[in-house]
Homo-oligomer: A and B are copies of this chain.
């Protein structure tokens, strides 16, 4: 790379193009595989959500070369449109994996792109996984520096920063050279979007789909000689400067080979905003100690990160989507039902007067000293007793990860809602052996689902 004015861009481009799977620690490769597997389950399950119907209608009308599969929908379309649909589907239940320090869903915008290009190009599992790791690491390195501030300001980091991850992964799959990849990242950055104002609507899951499509478009254009601002990550007037007034992303370009962000990734075992999970764990722990009737509860005090209230303080959720962003609703579910999976985020739960009763007793309190994986819950009973729980590492976070079995159980439940059992079993095995796959198009075909 040319030395000088764009050190962050140059270093990230060098990292992406220099990445070789043989040099990646096995634990990182396993984390990448788990992330892609978890992503695939959520994308397949998302195919039966209403937003997938709307996207499928638009895609059917638009048309495109049959390059890539829209998972679960039995349709192939252009890589651009398949990335859009799969990126939206995976986030429809807000159940995909989360990188908490970067405040983003790391697979959501990256996996759709590598899967679409792998199918189109008949790429190997190893090459696909390498591109996934490149995109994931790049976006989470940026997210670690500006993700929290972006979220506080009103940006949906999964989309805004995910656009860079998608472009990097696409650039890797398409074999861009260093100059082209820098342009691709510039073109990606100028498309970066996604506002938290959309939370609670279908536009929220649309975000990573758009980020995937935009990042892929950037890389496809750069391959054809299209230019963008290579100072996008370095200049004071680049993305971080314009969005936040932040002028130094240098930390994103440090410690290559020592720091692997994939090791800090989390799996969601609850179908809600990740920032509610520690609170759900606390509620479940309290319920495990002492099942509580709603009328035995006087008040529920939850101490959470200020960020949790920024992202997930829907006070009166009216839809399942809004309920996923209601720490009050999540706390009530945990205390009353002991879980917060797909089955709990329904119109019926929202309409349940007992749930409403307990929700009204929940007071979330912001506490800046709390870790992002932690929460504290204190339930005061009508008989005067107080039950407390402190969670330091929510289930699925790096300090409390599940096993591969846990992950596959979740995958099979999600994929099994769409695909027949033998297909789900075959996909589970295929994802386990992903790094050895000769042609990822065969795996995509397994995920196609009913036409």
Which positions in A face B, CB cutoff 8 Å? 50-51, 53-55, 57-58, 61-65, 78-80, 153-156, 183, 186-187, 189-198, 200-203, 206-207, 210, 214, 217, 220-221, 224-229, 231-232, 235, 237-239, 241-242
Contact = CB atoms under 8 A, between A and B. Distances in A.
Nearest to A64: B63
B186 A190 contact: no
Contacts of A192: 193
A197 B207 contact: no
A79 B203 CA distance: 21
B61 A63 contact: no
Contacts of A191: 193-194, 210
A206 to B, nearest CB: 7
Contacts of A63: 63-65, 78
Contacts of A78: 62-64
Contacts of A226: 51, 54-55, 202-203, 206
A86 to B, nearest CB: 16
Contacts of A54: 221, 224-226
Given A53-B224, A190-B207, 5 more contacts: A61-B220, A189-B197, A190-B197, A190-B203, A206-B226
A225 B50 contact: yes
A89 B241 CA distance: 28
A91 to B, nearest CB: 13
Copies in the complex: 2
A197 B58 contact: no
| Residue with the highest number of chain B CB atoms closer than 10 Å, among A79, A183, A194, A198 | A198
Contacts of A214: 210
Given A63-B64, A63-B65, A224-B54, A201 B217 contact: no
A53 B227 CA distance: 13
A289 to B, nearest CB: 38
A5 B266 CA distance: 37
Contact of A237 (B65, B196, B237): B196
Contact of A58 (B153, B154, B156, B224): B224
| Residue with the highest number of chain B CB atoms closer than 10 Å, among A55, A195, A221 | A195
A57 B224 contact: yes
A197 B51 contact: no
5 contacts: A63-B64, A154-B241, A201-B228, A201-B229, A206-B226
Contacts of A195: 189-190, 229, 232, 237-239, 242
Given A195-B190, A197-B235, A238-B197, A58 B217 contact: yes
Contact of A221 (B58, B193, B221, B229): B58
Nearest to A200: B229
A48 to B, nearest CB: 15
Contacts of A225: 50, 53-54
Nearest to A154: B242
